[in-house]
Amino acid sequence: MRVNIDVDQSRCVAAGHCVSAAPEVFDQRDEDGVVVLLDEAPAEHEHEGVREAALLCPSAAIAVREAERRL
């Protein structure tokens, strides 16, 4: 299974839960704490953290889409 991630920086309230849940995938801008997506299609071992980040985000700024891998 492959996941694709979209973040909506205009919704982000800089709570930082996403970075705690998946630090390899999310970061925060130094100047205002708004989310930065480091990897829009992360490896399998990151998926659990990514789903947790989407659930924890208080402003629903993270969208995770699952897609079957193309053969």
- Using CB under 6 A as the binding rule, whether residue 17 contacts ligand SF4 is answered as yes
Closest CA to 52 of 2, 5, 18, 11: 18
Report in angstroms how near the CB of residue 53 gets to ligand SF4 at its nearest. 6
Report in angstroms how near the CB of residue 19 gets to ligand SF4 at its nearest. 7
Alpha helices, DSSP H, located in 1-71: 17-21, 47-56
**Residue in 5, 22, 25, 35 binding ligand SF4, rule: CB under 6 A:** 35
Q: Is 15 exposed, middle or buried (0-12, 13-18, 19+ CB in 10 A)?
A: middle
- Using CB under 6 A as the binding rule, whether residue 22 contacts ligand SF4 is answered as no
Report in angstroms how near the CB of residue 64 gets to ligand SF4 at its nearest. 12
